[in-house]
Structure 1
Amino acid sequence: MSLLTCRGLSRRVLRDVDLDVAPGERVGLLGESGAGKTTLLRALLALEEPDAGTVACRGRAVRPGPARRLRWYRRLVQHVPQDPATTLDPRARVRELVALPVHRLGTPEERRRAGELVEEALDLVGLPADRRAARPGELSGGQAQRVAIARALVLRPRLLLADEPVSGLDLPLRELVLETLRTVSEQRGTALLLVSHDVAAVAALCGRTLVLSQGRLVEDAPTRELLTAPRHPAARALVEAVPVLP
């Protein structure tokens, strides 16, 4: 059974999108600006009701609704935002930020073990110990992104939906964040849907790649195959836009 599935999804620019992510799978979703990536992500996160179609997790329907009704889904599927600075409370310290999902979604036992779970998540993303009492304004861009990933991981979700997680980062930080996501996936078996316009980031992480163009999924292929022999013009344009070193 697929971990996450959508069938016939239509919303604004989106037209009849079918998508599957299997347990432990790393899937890239590529598309130019305006292709509908953000709209699709919001529908998958149950933040927007689709005009048509369905979203399901482990065969169970997922629709926007009260937080109580979606608690089971938020435990299984977590979001890594594009710009963590906008989602990290500037008044809170790192450990408090990472503990938020435990207090909101955790079981009584998990809440008792919140400190242990927080340290485990921060260890996994490699945040130095001397940064764990800092506030967001005291962190570098790469450190803030690692905090956002740790917060998403603290309850051991089965799937991460990552929205342009390396956008705007310089090369060393970019490589660090990509390696963090790979480590998480390999060590915990966490599935990943990497939403991006960055072909190189998707190629570094994902075994399968989807291409969204003008609201439709126009290609679904193993990443190596898509990079070497893209079939659809939109996929070809994305691949050809990647700089090639002499």
Structure 2
Amino acid sequence: MPKSRRTSSAFPDAGPPALTVTLQAIAARLFRVSSTLRTKTINAGQVADFIDWQQRVFGHQPTVFGRREELWERLAQRLDPSGPLVALEFGVAWGYATDWWLRRLGGRDVVWHGFDRFTGLPRAWREHDEGAFDAGGKPPAIDDKRVCWHVGDVQDTLGTVDLVAARDAQWLILFDLDIYEPTAFAWEMLAAHLRPGDLMYFDEAMDVDERRVLNEMILPSIGCEPVGTTALGLGLAVTRPVR
């Protein structure tokens, strides 16, 4: 119960201090007239909750990077430079992350699997309508023989990849499907194959959908350590395979 305010009454007020009430009233009036301010404040609260969640789950605050490319660079530094690499990218859109990583990896031995519908979100998500991020049904025009595109729902395409044969390499997994259902499916297919040293990146770990997969499926079943975070995303390194 909040500390009671001092009053002259025999019945103290158990509500918040007067200054807090005044500030809350001012905020309420501002939120009433500005939808933009409401949205930004809600987003800021979600980011604060994300940071608080990390401290509770990992027992400390991972390094916070200002841009996801900085976190990607930290992940890249954890890759074994002498061995083969298999990358599994779930959610490609127009290919920005694919292009960044291929440039960063240079000419090293890598097989890159990119999974996407390329027709946008299958359902509404946050402020985005169904069909958002539509790339016209076509993968990006990235001219690199190391890339293999898997066009369609991940539930229909991931099974075509020989994950057992791919275990000869370190894995880099990029989750950016945004919504729960395909992310959960991808995790269920991959989980038993993960090994210490594999790396995972979650582009929207701040959001309820990816966080639900982390809370319900990933963190209870596998050992991992945070590599770093942004306001939205999270990088993890596998330390123990699935129990």
- Provide TM-score, normalisation by structure 1: 0.34
Larger Rg: 2
Greater percentage in strand: 1
Structure possessing the higher relative contact order (Cα contacts under 8 Å, 6 or more residues apart): 1
